[in-house]
A and B are shown apart, each in its own frame.
Chain A
Amino acid sequence: MIKAHVNRLDDESLSALLDGEQQLADAKIAEQDVATFGRYALIGDAMRAQKDHSDIHIDISKRVALALESEPVYADFSQSKAQSAPQSDTINDNKVVVFNWRKPVAQLAIAASVAMFAIVGVNMLPQGDGAQQSEIPLLQTTPFTGIASPVSYSSEPALKNAENGLRELQQQRIGALVLEHQRQARVAHSLEAAQTDAKKTEEKN
Chain B
Amino acid sequence: MKVITFILSLAISFNTFASDTNPAKDLLLKMANAVHTRNFDASFVVVKGKTMEPYRWVHAKQGDIEIEHLSLLNGAGLEMVRVDNQVTYFEPQSEPYSLTTDSIAGPIPEVLFKNVERLSNHYDFVLGGKGRISGRAAQLVRIESKDEDKYNYWIWLDMESSLLLKAAYVNHQGEALEQLQLTHISVTEQPASMLLEILNRNFPTPLPNNSLETLSSNTAKTWKIDWLPAGFELLKSDRHKLDLNNELTDYYLFSDGFVEVSVFIQRPLPGKRLSGSLTSGATTVYVHNGGNFDVSVVGNIPSLAAKKIAESVIRAL
A positions within 8 Å CB-CB of B = 75, 77, 80, 82, 91, 94-96, 98-99, 101-103, 105-110, 112, 114, 116-117, 119, 122, 130, 132-133, 135-139, 141, 143-145, 162-163, 166-167, 169-170, 172-181, 183-195, 198
- State the CA gap A132–B99 with chains docked (Å): 39
**Of B124-132, B183-191, B256-264, which stretch is located at the interface?**
B256-264
B157 at the interface (CB under 8 A from A): no
Given contacts A191-B211, A195-B212, contact A101 B76 (CB under 8 A): yes
CB distance from A50 to the nearest CB of B (A): 49
**Contact present for B50 and A139 (CB under 8 Å):** no
Interface residues of B in 224-249 (CB under 8 A from A): 235-236, 242-245, 247, 249
B side interface size, CB within 8 A = 68
B12 at the interface (CB under 8 A from A): no
B23 at the interface (CB under 8 A from A): no
**Contact present for B304 and A132 (CB under 8 Å):** yes
CB distance from B184 to the nearest CB of A (A): 22
B142 at the interface (CB under 8 A from A): no
**Contact present for A181 and B299 (CB under 8 Å):** yes
Of A95, A170, A172, the residue contacting B202 (CB under 8 A) is A95
**Contact present for B264 and A177 (CB under 8 Å):** yes
Chain B residues in 8 Å Cβ range of A163: 271-272
- State the CA gap A133–B76 with chains docked (Å): 35
B287 at the interface (CB under 8 A from A): yes
Given contacts A138-B276, A170-B287, A188-B255, contact A195 B96 (CB under 8 A): no
Given contacts A139-B278, A169-B269, A180-B242, contact A107 B93 (CB under 8 A): yes
- State the CA gap A130–B148 with chains docked (Å): 13
Find the B residue at minimum CB distance from A146.
B50
Of B95, B101, B245, B269, the residue contacting A166 (CB under 8 A) is B269
**Contact present for A109 and B90 (CB under 8 Å):** no
Given contacts A145-B50, A177-B262, A194-B211, contact A186 B99 (CB under 8 A): yes
The 5 sampled A-B contact pairs (Cβ below 8 Å) are A110-B244, A141-B278, A174-B278, A186-B99, A189-B101
**Contact present for A122 and B274 (CB under 8 Å):** yes
**Contact present for B274 and A179 (CB under 8 Å):** no
- State the CA gap A128–B89 with chains docked (Å): 40
Chain B residues in 8 Å Cβ range of A186: 87, 89, 99, 105
**Contact present for A103 and B93 (CB under 8 Å):** yes
Interface residues of B in 176-204 (CB under 8 A from A): 200-204
Given contacts A173-B247, A174-B296, contact A96 B201 (CB under 8 A): yes
Given contact pairs A94-B201, A173-B247, a sample of 8 additional A-B residue pairs in the complex whose CB atoms are under 8 Å apart: A105-B76, A108-B75, A166-B272, A181-B298, A189-B105, A191-B235, A192-B255, A195-B211
